[in-house]
Each structure stands twice: as structure tokens, then as C-alpha cells.
Amino acid sequence: MRRFDPTPLYRASVGFDQMADMLNRVMATDVQAPSYPPYNIEKTAENDYRISLAVAGFRADDLSVEVKENALIVTARSAEDDTTREYLHRGIATRAFERRFHLADHVSVTGATHVDGMLHIDLQRQLPEALKPRQIQIARDVGASQSERLVQADAA
């Protein structure tokens, strides 16, 4: 797979350097993305999202959810190492992990719940009033109406 060269994007636009860097990072083939734990990202409403991570074997106390500089960081300590049990097959992974999600501007975490081996993190995009579309009132040409009034005043 070819690497994406963002140079033309830098020349033709202003302020999109973060997007080009993100595209370059996503398309990098030399870095293998971690696959543990598995997760889903869903859109629950127009401005609401939910990230669900499968964290079977972890208690809520073992998990940590942190937001730092537009990054959502989910970490887990290893669950208790029980040496008294003898496993014939151990298929439930309870190894420590760190999973990072890059958040867009104006996206904030509204809550997190741990239910039935799933960690659900709710997100919401909140656009400031300055960035929301607004209707601009168009002023009428005041100069023409003033000159008409002067002509009418002279005629009278």
C-alpha cells in the first residue's frame, strides 16, 4: 500500500494540517494497530456517540478512562493473578492494556458505565454558538432611500 503524501494539501489549504497528519498516521503501514480489547463505535444520535469495549474479566476498579489533549485513553491494570487455580484452557485475556482514541474538536466525554463485561463510554459533540450556522440579516440600501426623500422634499 502506498503512503499518502499530504504536501499538496498543505499548499492548497490553511488549517487542515491536523487532518493531513491524521490521514498519514492512519495510513501508515509500518505500525500494527493493537486489536485488544475489541471495541465498537456507534452513533446514537445526531451529536452523540458511544464507544463500547469488551473488557471481560476486569472489574470497574481495574479500568481507567481519561481525556487528555483531545485523546481518550482507556487503560486497565491486570486483573488479579490467581495462582491457586489450575487452568486447562485460558481463553479470557485479562492482560493490561491501553487503548487511545483521538477525539475531534468539541467532543467531550459525558459518562462511562461498566455493565456485563462491557465498558460503555458516551461522547457528545457540542459546537459553540460561534461555530453554529447563523442567518445574516441583509440591510437594505439606505443611501437610495435618503436620496429619494431629498428629491421628494425639494419637490414639496
pLDDT for 85-108, tens place per residue? 788 888 877 788 899 888 888 888
Residue 116 has pLDDT above 80, yes or no: yes
Estimate to the nearest angstrom the gap between the alpha carbon of 67 and the chain centroid: 11
- Domain 36-81+90-132 CATH class label: mainly beta
Write down the pLDDT at residue 7. 65
Rounded Cα distance, 73 and 53, in Å = 12
- DSSP assignment, residue 24? H
More confident residue, 139 or 65: 65
Q: What is the pLDDT of residues 24-72, one digit of tens each?
A: 666 664 556 667 888 999 999 888 999 999 998 888 888 999 999 888 9
Answer for the pair 6, 21: CB distance below 8 angstroms, yes or no: yes
Domain range summary for the chain, segments of one domain joined by +:
1-33, 36-81+90-132
Any idea what DSSP says for residue 40?
E
pTM of the model: 0.64
Which residues have C-beta within 8 Å of that of residue 51, sequence separation ≥ 6? 39, 40, 41, 72, 101, 120, 121, 123
